[in-house]
Amino acid sequence: MVQNVRRVFDAKPEYLKASFLEHIRSGLPHTCSFITHETPPKDGIEVILQDFMIPKDVLSRDGLAPCPICSPVKPKYVKGHLLWSSESKLLYAVGHCCGHGFFTSDSLARALTRNSRAERRRRAEALIEANWTLPGELVAYWALLKPAVRDLDRVLKALRVGLRHAVCKDIHRTIRDGGYLKVQQRSGDDAVTHRGLTAAEEAYGDQPVRGASILRGSSRGISVEAKVSNVMAALTHVSWQTENDAVLWLCERVDEDLLHLEMFIRDAVSNVSTALDDIAALLAFIEPENLKLINDWSREAHGWQGCVSVENERGQVTIIRGRKRFKSFRLPPTLTQELPTVPALIDPTLEKT
């Protein structure tokens, strides 16, 4: 039984792009079964694939590719374009040199814009289909993580307020300075006027401070819970029960819906990861050895009257300003609980590379 190969397409066959790319990995473009060898018409040309390259191993074995416009008999091109004509309803593989001169007015720009939009949708479809269970898994995981993140916000607010704005900035700046706290040391001759004295910063201590990222360089409150909750609220509207439900949703939705859901999924995974990193940073920050480094530095940098210190006695955290206790609280047990592994995002584009 002989199978007829379709060569006439009433609508632009975007779906053949992947098949064409697969073909040119092992053969020349004009040998593809759905490509015509005729010269394309002048008008109605749309781009399916711009600037494809013939692999070196194909060139070394089969030589250059023939262009139906300028070199149908004597092959000459390595880079080309895959085109479709709305007039002839046929597909053409033409050389790069003919392609750009062949397009009239702004048809190339319009075609590339449509092609880019279609490519974005295909990427979104592939990611959502590969992760169709992930929205529900993330929502369920957030239900377990939310109490810890809520307590994280409370502890971070207490630390930022208690440590004062300037101290928070100085400690957070260690991220930029290799992790080391800095103190100012004056240098200069006593006989020189006060205006002539200079101050130089020097690293304090022999180890870097840990967990400085939680301070954000400011005393202002930054709610980790709000950031994660906002994107999780969008994922709660995903109600797929099976993979078929997800595929049917993909087929029925407009581009904007797919792109928004792709963004929500990526943001949810990223925000949950950031929240877990913040919890780990907080636990590192309040370890007694790390706090001793910060407390000693603060006394050296600000003196007894202006220093700020934090004590952690078996989970009882106390913030002291100067010689007076400013605030005391117990570290919530939710921050030290073990959580299941966070659901992972499968990225189809990375798997292919």
- Return the pLDDT at 184: 81
- Return the pLDDT at 108: 57
d(CA 262, CA 116): 16
d(CA 48, CA 94): 12
pLDDT tens figures, 290-347: 999 999 999 988 888 788 999 999 999 999 998 899 999 999 999 999 989 999 999 8
Name the pairing type of β-strands 45-53 and 79-85. antiparallel
d(CA 141, CA 133): 12
The answer to whether the pTM exceeds 0.85 is no
d(CA 151, CA 272): 15
Q: Which amino acid would we find at residue 172?
A: H
Q: What are phi and psi of 242, to 5 degrees?
A: -135, 170
DSSP E strand boundaries for 58-166: 79-85, 91-95
H or E stretch covering 317: strand 316-321
pLDDT tens figures, 38-64: 988 877 888 888 888 898 889 889 999
With a cut of 50, which residues of the chain have pLDDT below it? 1-3, 191-193, 219-220, 353
- Return the pLDDT at 119: 82
- Return the pLDDT at 1: 33
Name the pairing type of β-strands 79-85 and 308-313. unpaired
- Return the pLDDT at 353: 46
- Return the pLDDT at 309: 92
